[in-house]
Amino acid sequence: MFTGLVLAMGRIAWQAETRLGVEVLEEHGVDLLGDLALGDSVAVDGVCLTVMERLPQGFVAAVSPETLNRTTFGRPMPRAPQVNLEPALRVGQRLGGHFVTGHVDGVGQIEGIRVVGEAKVDTAWEVRVSVPATVADYVIPKGSIAVNGISLTVASCDPEGNWLTAAVIPHTFQTTNLACLQPGDGVNLEADVLGKYVRRFVGRPAVAATPESLSWAFLAEHGFA
């Protein structure tokens, strides 16, 4: 589990069929490498990967065919030269973003990034992203979404959820790879997990129960006993 708050920057040093090497470039107030152990989970551009090997300046992670199919790691489209890194959330740590699982739902595409605000202290950015069908149903105004592992709030979107805009504050823009992205670059998108469960429950037919069908087995099966 992650929060969508990027704590370090890195780069993909190399990528093979089933593994990739990540070099840690910058850490924002945390000792990511010092605390890293074999088997730990790290979100790399929003993709939950498992540390298979420690390196002096980074780590090696395994990538499965499912990961390649779902994320920018398996796409030929351009992506930022740097990657966002976040270690897994630990029990008792503050949740500053939103619940992010690191299970990417699809790859979106940057349509544009523009500066908003005139005064330097108020300068912010607006990011516009095209959204694939696998994510569109979960995009709502003021809802949460992870873009390359960054917890963002949807500022606006079309009724179908085919695109969204998000407002980005200076700190987020400067400490993530959003500053490196260009129109046409692919980004990993993860919809809010709460929205997925709501859609699942709403889409399932109601369980019909008659007095004759009520039993201890029935109640236990549906969580009432």
Q: What is the pLDDT along the chain (225 residues), one digit of tens a residue?
A: 899 999 999 999 999 989 999 999 988 878 889 889 999 999 999 999 999 999 999 999 999 999 999 999 999 888 889 999 999 988 777 777 788 999 999 999 999 999 987 656 667 899 999 999 999 999 999 999 999 999 999 999 999 999 999 999 999 999 999 999 999 999 999 999 988 888 888 776 655 555 566 677 877 887 776
Tokens of 102: 């690191």
β-partners of residue 26 are 9
Greatest alpha-carbon span in the chain: 70
Residue 100 in domain: no
Q: Do residues 193 and 112 both lie within one domain?
A: yes
* Domain housing 123: 106-203
Q: Do residues 129 and 161 both lie within one domain?
A: yes
Residue 219 in domain: no
b (16+ CB within 10 A) / e for 25-58: eeeeeeebbeebeeebbbbbbbbbbebeeeeeeb
Q: How far apart are CA 61 and CA 21, in angstroms?
A: 6
**Under a CB-based contact definition with an 8 Å cutoff, are residues 125 and 168 in contact?**
yes
**Under a CB-based contact definition with an 8 Å cutoff, are residues 79 and 188 in contact?**
no
Residue 93 in domain: no
Q: How many domains does the chain have?
A: 2
**Under a CB-based contact definition with an 8 Å cutoff, are residues 67 and 101 in contact?**
no
**From residue 105, how far is each of 11, 112, 155, 194 by CA, in Å?**
22, 21, 20, 14
pTM, two decimals, is 0.86
Among 87, 116, 140, the domain-final residue is 87
Tokens of 221: 């099966």
Residue 222 in domain: no
**Under a CB-based contact definition with an 8 Å cutoff, are residues 98 and 4 in contact?**
yes
CATH of the domain at 72: 2.40.30.20
